[in-house]
Amino acid sequence: MNRKFSYLLIIAIFLFAYKTYSQTKAIDENGHQVLLFSDGTWKYDVDSLNTNSGNADSIKINPKIFNKPTANNFLIKSNILNVGVYFNTSKWIVKPHPANRPIPEYQFMAKSNNMYGMLVAERTPVDISQMGDIALINAQKVAPNAKITKSEYRTVNDLKVLCLEITGTMKGINFIYFGYYYSNQNGTVQLITYTSQNLFKSSYNDMEDFLNGLVEVTK
């Protein structure tokens, strides 16, 4: 995976974040209500996304219980929410993070395979059943053919998370996001791994082990 691929995916994944500032409401060209913030950013108004309106949540539940692998030996805590990630330091490193770039809070990179990860934490709670819609809408802004290829609820270290796989093509590069989305009364966290589609199968186990390090912590 070259630097161009990594850079493009980082740009795309930044669009998965939502921040809360003073805001006004508007309607986009597709009829969705959006919130406009004073700093020039925006997000979709979750209440106006009625993809599942009137229907029971149809996302399947994976009956397997997922726990932190014993090899995940180092805990990095969010400074925003009461969450953290245990990861295997023999396989992953924390990438340097510019001080003027608050999103994502942490970036990760695999030492061997071309895999990357990000932790995005926000203080805005979002209904977990809506997070897939929001993630897909934002992904399609940089990759119009992006689609969710897998969605399920999982129990990970006693937390109910939404597990998503999103594929798409950007600048001729076929990519895949594999991530966990979690929300509690304090806010929302997105722990996401990504790589090129041709490497996903061989990287899956390492990416899943990394994601299974997601925990709630006492701040």
Q: Given phi > 0 = left and psi -120 to 50 = alpha, else beta, which region is 54?
A: left
pTM tops 0.85: no
DSSP 49: -
pLDDT for the residue 135 = 87
Angle (nearest 5°) at CA 81 between 14 and 161: 75
Per-residue pLDDT, 56: 45
Could you give the 3-state DSSP secondary structure of residue 47? helix
Tokens of 162: 């939404």
Q: Is 33 exposed, middle or buried (0-12, 13-18, 19+ CB in 10 A)?
A: middle
Q: What is the pLDDT of residue 22?
A: 45
Please give the torsion angle defined by the CA atoms of residues 63, 67, 69 and 74, in that order, rounded to the nearest 10 degrees. Answer: 150
- C-alpha span between 126 and 114 (Å, rounded): 31
Helix (H, G, I), strand (E, B) or coil at 69: coil
* Torsion sign over Cα 50, 51, 56, 60: negative
Q: Which domains does the chain have, with CATH numbers?
A: 3-16+60-216 (3.40.1000.10)
Distance (Å, whole) CA 72 – CA 75: 8
pLDDT at 35: 64
Q: Which residues lie below 8 Å from residue 14, measured CB to CB, with a gap of 6+?
A: 103, 104
Of residues 113, 114, 88, 93, the one with CA closest to residue 209: 88
Asked if 181 contacts 133 with a C-beta cutoff of 8 angstroms, the reply is no
Cβ pair 188, 161 in contact under 8 A: no
Rounded to an integer, what distance in angstroms lies between the CA atom of residue 74 and that of residue 88?
Answer: 7
pLDDT tens, the chain, 219 aa long = 454 445 455 545 544 444 433 455 555 444 556 665 555 555 556 555 444 433 446 899 999 999 999 999 999 999 999 999 999 999 999 987 766 677 889 999 999 878 999 999 999 888 998 889 888 887 888 889 999 999 999 999 999 999 999 999 988 889 999 999 999 999 999 999 999 999 999 999 999 999 999 999 986
194 close to 9: Cβ distance less than 8 angstroms? yes
The two structure tokens encoding residue 32: 């969705």
DSSP 8-state assignment for residue 135: H
Please provide residue 131's backbone torsions phi and psi, each rounded to the nearest 5 degrees. -70, -30
